[in-house]
Chain A
Amino acid sequence: MTAHATFRNEPALELRREPVRAQALRALAELRTKLPLRIGSASGAAWGADGAGGGGGGELRSHNPADPAELIAVAPAGTAADARAAVTRADAALTAWASLEASVRVRTLQRAAGLLRERRLELAALEVLEAGKPWPEADADVCEAIDFLEYYALGAAALAQGVALLQVPGERNTLRYHPRGVHAVIAPWNFPLAIPAGMVSAALVTGNTVVFKPAEQTPACGHALVQALHAAGVPEDAVVLLTGSDEPARELVAHPLVHGIAFTGSCAAGQHIIRAAAEPHPGQRHVKRVIAEMGGKNCIIVDADADLDDAVPAIVKSAFGFAGQKCSAAARVLVCEEIAEPLSERLAGAIAALRVGPAEDFASDLSAVIDAEAVTRIGAFLEGAEHAPRVQAQVPAGTDGHYVPPTMFVDLPSSSRIVREEVFGPVLSCERVTSVEAAVRIVQEGDFGLTGGLFTRSPRTIEYVSRLGIVGNLYVNREITGAMVGRQPFGGGRLSGTGPKAGGPDYLLSFVEARSVSENTVRHGLVI
C-alpha cells in the first residue's frame, strides 16, 4: 500500500504557546454557552415532547466528570427496537453505498476529515467536558480521529486496485475486495472520537454501512463524528447513530443482518460479543466477523542499566495519564532488583508531585475518572489492599468531581487483585524481579498482551525482548501510551484482542472479502 507513503499525522496543538491555550479556552467557553447539547434519535424521529427517542427508551445524559452537576448532552436511550430500526436502515442503504466507485467513498471520508479539522478546538473542548480528558490528550484524540479517516481513505484507494496475481497464457486472473454488509460499531468513552472514527471509517470506506453505538458516557462525541460524516456526503442511512447503553448493543450483535462487529471495550464485554456473534440466527446466511480490542494489564520492564531520569517520568505518564483510563496504560512496573529501591523512591516522589484537577485546567496532570461507578470500582481495588503501604497524591477537596488519587503499591503479593486484574484507573503496582528474563516470563504468563515497555541501555536486551514478541505494542525507552496512526499500529494478543492492528496496513482487510475471478481467454484455440 504505497499510498500510505503520503500520509502525515495531523499536527497536535502547540499548547505550550500561550495564544494557542487562550484559543482553546475560548472554544471551551463558547461550547459552554450551547450546553446541554441535544442529540436526535437513531430512528430519525424528531425529539418528542417527552424528550425521549423514537423507541420510547427514555433518555441518557452525559455529565462533566469533574463537576457532575454540569450537564453536557442529552440523547435518546436507544432500545432493542431502535437498534432493529437502525439496522434495517443501514441494510437498505448498503447497495447504493457499496456500488459507488471506491474513489467517491475515499473523497467523502477525506472531506469528513477536513470537517473535523475545521472544528478541532470545539471537539477537543467537548472531550474535555464530556470525557474529562485533559487538553493535550483530548486534542490528540481529535487528531487521531482525523488520522484514521485520512489513513484508511488512502488504504481503501490502494485496496481498490486489487492485488496482482500469477498470470499464465490463456488465463486472466483478478482479485477484488468487496464490502461485507452492515457493520455494528460499539465504541468506548475513553477515546470518544478517535476509536469510533477508526472503526466506523474503516467499515464505511470499504463500502460497508454502519450502525454506530457510542458509549453511553459520551454520546455527544459520537454524534459529532456522525455529523461530520453526513455533512461530508455519507448518506444518512449509510451511517446511523444509535445512542444508548447495553440493550441496543446486544440487539446489534444478535441481529441477523449484521455482518461484522467492531468493538473496543472491556474483556468481559468483548468475550460476550464473540460468543453471541457466533450464534447463528434465523435468516442469517453468513458468519459474523468480530474485531474486538479488549483490555490490558501492561507492564514496564526496567533493566538494571536503565536511566531513571527517563524511566520515572515515562512510567508516571504511562500509568497516570488520563487517570490510567487507557487500555494501553501501564499497570505494573517490573524492575530489576539492583535499582528497585531508587526507582520506587523516585516514583513515589514523582507521584506525590502530581496535580489532580479538572481536565479543563492546563495545570492538571490528571483529571477525574469517568463516572461514579468508576470511582466505586477503583475504590474496591484500593480497599482490597487496605493494609498494603501505598503512595498517593492529593485529590481536590470540596468538589463532587469523580476523583481518585493516583496510587502506587510496592511489592504487593502476586495474588493481589491489583497485580492480577485490570483496574482501568490511576493505580500502579511496582514489583521487583531478578532479571529481565524473569520479567519477560511474568509478562508472558499474563492474560493480556497489549502494550509493554522496556527501559534498558543494552542493545542486546532490546533485541532479546523485541524478538520474543510478548506484547502487541512494545515501547523501548519511552512511555507506552499514545500510539500514532501509521507509526505504531495498535492492538494486542492473548485476551487483549482479536487483531488486526488499528492504524496499520492490514486493518481494512477485516472489513472486506476477497473475490477472485479467473477468465479463460482462449477461443477456438487462440488466445483472444
Chain B
Amino acid sequence: MDEVTLDERVQVWGSRLAAGLPSGGLRRPRAGAEQLMMRWLIGDPRLRAALFRFVDVRPACHSRSELVRHLSELLEEAGGRERFGAGEGPVDGEHSGVARRLARLTGRRALELPTAAAAALGVASMAHRFIAGEDAEAAAGELRSLWEHGRCVTLDLLGEATLTEGEGELYAERCTQTLRTLAQLGAAWQPAPMLDHDGLGPLPRANLSVKVSALTPHLRANAPRRALEAARERLLALLRLARELDAHLHVDMESLDTRESITELFLELLARDEFVAGPSAGIVLQAYLTDSEEQLERLLAWVEGNPRGAPFTVRLVKGAYWDHEVVLAAQHGWRTPVFTDRRACDRHYEHLTRRLLDARAGGLALRPAIASHNLRSLAHALAYADALRLEPEAVELQVLRGLGDDTAAAINACGRRVRVYCPVGDLVAGMAYLVRRLLENTSNDSFLAALGSGADLRLLLERP
C-alpha cells in the first residue's frame, strides 16, 4: 500500500481514538492542583528536577522533619541558593521562581507539619496512580475492575535492585506467588471474547512481566553468559509454573547492557522440548535502539525456527532507559545506541510495527503488542493491520497504568484489545518507577504532555 493511502487511514484511526478519549479528548480538565503542578513541571526544568529528587528520597525519610528538611533543601537549590559561591551556580535566569516561593513556605516553622504531611500525601497519591497495590492480592479489586472495563493486564513486580542471591530468590518467590494469585483471580472473571482469544488461540488471563535483572545479581554487560548460568534455574521454574497454570510469562527489556543476557537466556530456555506446547511467552523490543531492527529479525528468525504450540508475543515499546543510554555512551565515548531525534525514533517505531504485522499476516505464530501512549503510533498500527486485513483481535495495544488510562479508554471505545501494564509493590520500591514515569510524562517530547497542554490534534497525528 502506498504511504498516502496508509496515512489517510492513520488519520481516520487517530481521530477515532481521540474521540474516544474521556471528556472528548483534548483539553480534558485534570484536577486543579494536579493540572497546575503538571504545568509547572513541564515549564520549569529546575523545579521538575527538585521535585523528582524529592520523590526519590521520600521513602528514605523516617520522620516528618526529615521530610521537610529534604523538601526545602531541594527547593532552595532549585530556587537558586548558591552552592559553591559566586560564579559557579547557575545563571540567574535559570532559577526557578516557583521553587523559591515554595522553599520559603517549607522553610517557615509554623508550616512545617502541614507541609510535610501534604508532601508525604502527595507522593503517596501520585504513587497510587501508577502502582496498583502492594501485591497481586491487594490489587485484586483493581485488576477485576480493569477486566470489567474491557482491559486485560500484565503485572510487574517492583522492588529494590537485586544485589544478592537472597534478593534474587525473594523476587523469584514473589513471581511464583503472583502467578498463582493471578491464575486464581482470572478464573473468576467474566468471559470477554476480545480479551480471551485471538485468531491464534486462547489468551491467558494471568500475565506476568518478569525482570531478569531482579532474578540474579550476576548480570554483567561484558559477560552475558554469566547471568545465564545464574538465572537459568529460577527462570526455568517460572516457565514450568506458567505452563502448569496456563499463564503468560513475559520478560521485560531493561538497559542495553542486559539485552544480550536476557535474550539469550529466554530464547534458550523456551526452545527446550518441555516448552514446545507452552507456556505462552513473550519478549520486548525497544524501538529507540538504532539496531532494534536487527534484534527484531533475530527474534522473528527464532520464532520461525522454533515452532511452538503457544504463539510468541513481541511487545514493541519505545524504550524507557533513554537518558541512561545517552549518559552511559557520552561518559565512555561510545556511539549513542538510541535515536536522539524524536521523529526518527517515531518513524522507526512505525517501521518495526509494520515488520511485526507483516510477519503475523505472513502466517507466523506471532502476537504483536504495540505498547505506546502516542495516538499516532497506535493509529498507525491499527491502520496498517486493517490494510493487511488482519482480524481485529490480531493486534494488541498496551499502555501503562496511571499514564495510559485515558488512552486505554479510547482503545476500549474503538473496540480493540488493550492490556494495561500494572506495577505492584510498596511505596519504597515504587519510587524509581514513579520518578521514571513522571519524567516521561512531563518531558518536552512526551506525547501525553503535548496532548494535555492542548496541542493541535492534526499536528500530533502528523507522519513523523
- Chain A residues close to B by CB (< 8 Å): 8-12, 14-16, 18, 21, 135-136, 304-309, 312-313, 338, 346, 348-350, 352-353, 355, 361-363, 365, 457-460, 462-463, 466-467
Q: Report if B104 contacts A (CB, 8 A).
A: no
CB distance from B123 to the nearest CB of A (A): 14
B164 pairs with A352, CB closer than 8 A: yes
Q: Which of A12, A16, A309, A346 contacts B333 (CB 8 A)?
A: A12
Given contacts A16-B256, A349-B164, contact A457 B332 (CB under 8 A): no
Q: Is the CB of A309 within 8 A of B223?
A: no
Q: CB of B350 within 8 A of chain A?
A: no
**Max chain A Cβ within 10 angstroms of own Cβ: one of B160, B223, B226:** B223
Which among B36-44, B183-191, B213-221, B383-391 touches the partner chain? B213-221
A312 to B164, CA, bound (A): 10
Q: Closest Cβ of chain B: how far from A56's Cβ, in Å?
A: 45
Most chain B CB within a 10 A radius of its CB, from A135, A365, A457: A457
Chain A residue numbers with a CB within 8 Å of B69 are 458, 460
User: What residues make up the interface of B, taking CB atoms closer than 8 Å to A?
Assistant: 53, 56-57, 60-62, 66, 69-70, 73-74, 76-77, 83-84, 160-161, 163-167, 217-218, 220-226, 256-257, 260, 332-335, 432
Q: Are B77 and A305 in contact (CB under 8 A)?
A: no
7 new A-B contacts, CB < 8 A, other than A307-B57, A309-B432, A338-B62, are: A15-B222, A16-B256, A18-B260, A305-B57, A362-B220, A365-B220, A457-B70
CB distance from A15 to the nearest CB of B (A): 4
- CB pair A353–B164 under 8 Å, yes or no, is yes
| A305 interface neighbour in B61, B166, B226, Cβ under 8 Å | B61
The answer to whether B163 and A458 touch across the interface, beta carbons within 8 angstroms, is: no
Supposing A313-B163, A349-B217, A457-B60 touch, asked if A21 and B53 sit within 8 A by C-beta, the answer is no
Which residue of A14, A309, A462 is within 8 Å of B334 (Cβ)?
A14
Residues of A within 8 Å of B256, CB to CB, are 16
Closest CB in chain B relative to A425 CB, distance in Å:
22
16 A-B residue pairs with CB within 8 Å: A12-B332, A12-B333, A14-B334, A135-B222, A307-B56, A309-B161, A349-B164, A349-B167, A349-B217, A352-B165, A353-B163, A353-B165, A363-B220, A457-B56, A463-B83, A467-B84
Q: Is B61 a contact partner of A353 (Cβ separation < 8 A)?
A: no
Docked complex Cα distance between A16 and B70 (Å):
37
Contact A12 B334 (CB under 8 A): yes
A-B contact count (CB 8 A): 96
* CB <8 Å contact, B333 and A362: no
Q: Given the complex of chains A and B, what is the CA–CA distance between A463 and B85 in angstroms?
A: 10
A479 CB, min distance to chain B CBs, angstroms: 12
Q: Which 9 A-B pairs have the closest CB atoms?
A: A349-B164, A11-B333, A363-B223, A16-B221, A457-B57, A309-B161, A362-B223, A305-B60, A353-B217
Q: Given A305-B66, A350-B164, A352-B165, A458 and B73 touching (CB < 8 A)? A: yes
**How distant is the Cα of A18 from the Cα of B221 in the complex, in angstroms?**
10
When distances are taken between beta carbons in the complex, the residues of chain B under 8 Å from A307 are 56-57, 60
Q: Which residue of A lies closest to B163 (CB)?
A: A350
What CA separation (Å) do A434 and B83 show in the bound complex? 25
Question: Is A309 touching B165 in the complex (CB atoms < 8 A)?
Answer: no
A466-B60 in contact given A11-B332, A459-B73 (Cβ < 8 Å) = no
Most buried by B among A9, A16, A361, A467: A16
